[in-house]
């Protein structure tokens, strides 16, 4: 009863600030998002950033209204952003193609935008995603050259492509929430969605070098009418935290949120998932070394920050594009070892370099 009363109070409280609309230009497209900045924010206050990724057919404002992360952000002093996927989808290398947009680059640019304009903490950046947004969160954690300290996914998973090619540069903490009766993204996997949840968790357990046998604890089950019950599976001695909340009988839904537009199937009402998610994410942090922005050991860039000449440790000629923090292209051309950036204004930029076989993007700071 106390849980239900708390939920009623939580959802009855008005948003302390109205949603703020924003946009950046990424690869020639106007990419939109909404965000919430808590009343305690100041330009000198370096807050964490949470990026929440919606499910297929959904929108950023829609998932904002469903989850009410804004209230949690107000109470816990972090900025939360809800971006929109192109055509309400994310390019997460799904088995069934839903988007071909460069969403990995977009989310990296979005994080840079908040670092530059709101002084968010680059060591405390987090991802949360539902369904297709969960797939996208796993993809980013596996592939990004930017450090996201932790991810939390609900009713999402790794696609077969992400699973096969997952090679994280960092060691993100991972919380995965999934119902065993999810008919949209089946717990045991499928041809349309990819590997099983257990395979995904084992992939992370292996990468994070966790102990083989996890601890399994039944969570409290105060709601006996929702036809489902949760258990928490926690791995020990990992590089970063790894947890699975397995909901026996749970559907394709946000646990704890009784809404008709959140998903499909049984909604487990034993815990409020956004609160559980933030509690998991909030104490995670990237290593300071992640700020060096080394793309790969065989091709670092230096110095970073840079004043005049940005050096690329490579014996090949590459095409390059430099984007500002708003996603606009400010310079492009060919580079062999050195790029003159002396005419750029001070700030944070994204450098994309590519040849016939690969394309990589990373940040640099111009002093």
Are 2-289 and 293-366 in the same CATH fold? no
pLDDT tens digit string along 191-208? 999 999 999 999 999 999
pTM of the complete model beyond 0.85: no
| Residue labelled with tokens 């954690």 | 141
- Report the C-alpha gap between 237 and 239 in whole angstroms: 7
Structural tokens at position 109: 């640019």
Higher model confidence: residue 327 or residue 173?
173
Residue 136 pLDDT greater than 60, yes or no: yes
- Measured distance CA(140)–CA(134) in Å, rounded: 10
Work out whether strand 347-354 and strand 318-323 pair parallel, antiparallel, or are unpaired: antiparallel
Highest mean pLDDT pick, 96-105, 288-297, 348-357: 96-105
CATH number for the segment(s) 293-366: 2.60.40.3080
pLDDT at position 16 over 80: no
Assess whether pLDDT exceeds 90 at residue 67. yes
More reliable by pLDDT, 330 or 290: 330
Predicted pLDDT of residue 317: 86
Identify the CATH assignment for 2-289 out of 3.50.50.60, 3.60.10.10, 3.40.50.1820, 3.20.20.120: 3.40.50.1820
Amino acid 261: pLDDT: 75
User: What span, in angstroms and rounded, lies between the C-alpha atoms of 186 and 170?
Assistant: 28
Mean pLDDT value across residues 169-194: 96
**How confident is the model at residue 89, as a pLDDT?**
97
Domain boundaries defined on the chain: 2-289, 293-366
User: Does the pLDDT of residue 8 top 50, yes or no?
Assistant: no
- Supply the pLDDT for residue 21: 95
What's the pLDDT at 4?
38
The pLDDT of 163-184, averaged and rounded, is: 97
């Amino acid at each position: 009863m106390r849980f239900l009363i708390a939920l009623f109070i939580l959802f009855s409280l008005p948003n302390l600030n109205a949603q703020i609309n924003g946009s950046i230009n990424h690869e020639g497209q106007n990419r939109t998002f909404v965000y919430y900045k808590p009343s305690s924010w100041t330009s000198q206050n370096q807050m964490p950033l949470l990026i929440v990724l919606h499910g297929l057919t959904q929108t950023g404002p829609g998932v904002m209204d469903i989850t009410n992360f804004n209230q949690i952000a107000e109470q816990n002093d972090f900025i939360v952003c809800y971006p929109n996927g192109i055509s309400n989808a994310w390019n997460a290398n799904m088995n069934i193609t839903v988007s071909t947009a460069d969403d990995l680059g977009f989310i990296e640019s979005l994080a840079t935008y908040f670092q530059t304009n709101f002084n968010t903490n680059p060591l405390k950046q987090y991802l949360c995603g539902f369904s297709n947004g969960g797939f996208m969160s796993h993809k980013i954690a596996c592939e990004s050259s930017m450090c996201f300290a932790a991810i939390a996914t609900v009713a999402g998973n790794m696609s077969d492509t992400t699973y096969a090619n997952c090679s994280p540069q960092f060691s993100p903490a991972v919380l995965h929430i999934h119902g065993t009766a999810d008919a949209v993204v089946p717990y045991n996997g499928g041809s349309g969605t990819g590997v099983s949840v257990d395979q995904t968790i084992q992939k992370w357990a292996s990468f994070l070098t966790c102990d083989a046998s996890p601890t399994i604890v039944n969570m409290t089950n105060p709601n006996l009418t929702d036809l489902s019950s949760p258990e928490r599976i926690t791995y020990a001695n990992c590089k970063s935290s790894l947890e699975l909340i397995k909901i026996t009988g749970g559907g394709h839904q946000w646990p704890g949120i009784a809404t008709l537009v959140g998903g499909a199937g049984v909604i487990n009402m034993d815990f409020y998932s956004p609160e559980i998610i933030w509690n998991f994410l909030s104490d995670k942090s990237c290593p300071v070394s992640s700020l060096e922005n080394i793309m790969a050991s065989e091709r670092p860039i230096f110095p970073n920050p840079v004043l005049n000449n940005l050096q690329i440790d490579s014996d090949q000629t590459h095409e390059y594009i430099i984007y500002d923090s708003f996603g606009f292209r400010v310079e492009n051309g060919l580079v062999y070892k050195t790029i003159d950036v002396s005419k750029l204004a001070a700030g944070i930029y994204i450098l994309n370099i590519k040849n016939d076989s690969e394309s990589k993007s990373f940040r640099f700071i111009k002093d």
